[in-house]
Amino acid sequence: MQIEAYDEQRSEQASTYFYLLNSMAINMDTDGESWLSCIRCGRKYDISRRKYICDRCHGLLEVKHSFPDHFTSEGFSGVWHYGPLIHPALGKARIISRGEGATAMYSHESVSRFTGLSSLGMKHEGENPTGSFKDRGMTVAVTEALRLGATETICASTGNTSASAASYSALAGIRSNVLIPSGNISSSKLSQAIAYGARIIDIPGDFDMAMSNVIRIAENRQDYYVLNSINPWRIEGQKTIFFEIMERVRDCRFIALPAGNLGNTSAAGKAIREFKELGLIDDIPKIISVQAEGASPFYNLWTGGGEKLEPVRASTIASAIRIGNPVNWEKAIREIRYTGGMVVRVTDREIMESKRVVDRSGIGCEPASAASVAGLKQLVDQGEIDRNDSAVAVLTGNILKDTASIQEVSDRIPMEAFMQELLA
């Protein structure tokens, strides 16, 4: 199979088209098909059913595809460029898109030097429409919500999911409901969700409590469509981050990414697996899943050699990965093992130190994003990664996503001291 290389620079015509319209109707009729499959017992479900968890064993579901032998990409967004690889059975449908994907890959000497790598690529997902990688999954999930006739969407969120879900639901004309852990969400992210018209429901607890409520509501209300990464269609959209990385960096050996609910780790492995099966890559890159020390149940599972994740009470400055009971851990550990990857954890101090370096390079990111850079630095320091290895750090969110953390560590100089410096 061959795929056209994606165009990082959208044409003027395409940009005009995207920002004037809230959706696009295209024909993706191919000879491919899709179905849902339980990752534990393998039970199959038709995609016409609104399912997230297996009826038989309560395992998570994933989307399986029989890919077409060939296809011509419409190429109207970085995500839907790969339409036949994320939803080959979509056919003629109204796609809810804001031109997400095709994000930039940066490299800066100061960041590479900080990590100890000769050259580090940084895939900046903060350049998506609402400022995070969530938009890639949301365009697919909300398109699916519309296809299935949903009238409401619902999600639990530490911030980025709420902003993205609210935006894409509004584009689709569907009301968005967001459950947030009271007092534990970035005001910048919450403001986005409010501005896009989401109904905000405060939960007196953490993200994990909010998530359990979402699952309970979804089990009893079929008119509510879940937009968290327990929804396997979210994973399909997020695969395109890694499709783009593998097309751009052909010799990539390591892909590091922040790890919270582990949807992105799952998406990375699924993307790598599918590109390998399709003969689009020879060698598979290793996934490095990076958790914050105060929210590292997946790291504990990985290093402890257990078979079941034990939830923890999460505490970290990186709010986007402040999750103590990640729903996608079974998918994620399978993908780490498949790629021969690693799970590491870093301290809040290491996260903020890495963020400062990325910010001062002129690129910038939110705290959780910097965990990927901190994780690579740790592995280079430990000799697990050679300085000449090709590596990419995924920056998952925009610098403006968590401005409070910047204010806390900012250096401010009184005017009097500044004048004394000038006159010295």
Q: Does 11 have pLDDT greater than 50? A: no
Beta-strand pair 199-203/175-181: parallel
Cα distances from 155 to residues 48, 295, 378, 382, 409, in angstroms, run: 21, 20, 34, 39, 31
Q: What mean pLDDT comes out for the span 318-325?
A: 94
Q: What mean pLDDT comes out for the span 243-249?
A: 96
Q: Does 410 have pLDDT greater than 90? A: no
**Chain centroid offset of residue 169 CA:** 18
For residue 412, the model assigns a pLDDT of 78
Among the ranges given (135-149, 182-196, 342-356), the one the predictor scored with the smallest mean pLDDT: 182-196
Q: What mean pLDDT comes out for the span 246-260?
A: 97
For residue 153, the model assigns a pLDDT of 98
For residue 404, the model assigns a pLDDT of 75
How many Cα atoms sit within 13 Å of 256 on the Cβ side? 30
Average pLDDT over the chain, rounded to whole?
90
pLDDT band for 349, please (50, 70, 90 cuts). Answer: very high
Among the ranges given (109-123, 378-392, 399-413), the one the predictor scored with the smallest mean pLDDT: 399-413
Q: What mean pLDDT comes out for the span 128-154?
A: 97
- Rounded Cα–Cα distance for residues 411 and 390 (Å): 34
- Rounded Cα–Cα distance for residues 176 and 187 (Å): 18
- Rounded Cα–Cα distance for residues 222 and 219 (Å): 7
pLDDT band for 149, please (50, 70, 90 cuts). Answer: very high
Name the residue with higher pLDDT: 408 or 119: 119
pLDDT band for 57, please (50, 70, 90 cuts). Answer: very high
**Token pair for 348:** 């809040």
The share of the chain scoring above pLDDT 90, in percent, equals: 75
In this structure, which amino acid lies at residue 220?
A: N
The per-residue pLDDT for range 152-194, each reduced to its tens digit, is 999 998 789 999 999 999 999 999 999 998 776 777 778 999 9
CATH of 105-130+232-408, one of 3.40.190.10, 3.30.300.130, 3.40.50.1100, 2.40.30.10: 3.40.50.1100
Long-range contacts of 149-152 (CB under 8 A, 24+ apart): 150/50, 150/174, 150/223, 150/224, 150/225, 151/175, 151/223, 152/176, 152/177, 152/221, 152/223, 152/224, 152/225
CA nearest 365: which of 116, 132, 112, 164?
A: 132
For residue 24, the model assigns a pLDDT of 46
pLDDT band for 6, please (50, 70, 90 cuts). Answer: very low
**Token pair for 200:** 């905000």
**Domain map (residue ranges) of the chain:** 105-130+232-408
For residue 12, the model assigns a pLDDT of 38
Q: Does 310 have pLDDT greater than 50? A: yes
The per-residue pLDDT for range 262-308, each reduced to its tens digit, is 999 999 999 999 999 999 999 999 999 999 999 999 999 999 998 99
140 near 176, Cβ under 8 Å? no
Among the ranges given (9-13, 341-345, 379-383), the one the predictor scored with the smallest mean pLDDT: 9-13
The per-residue pLDDT for range 88-104, each reduced to its tens digit, is 888 777 899 999 999 99
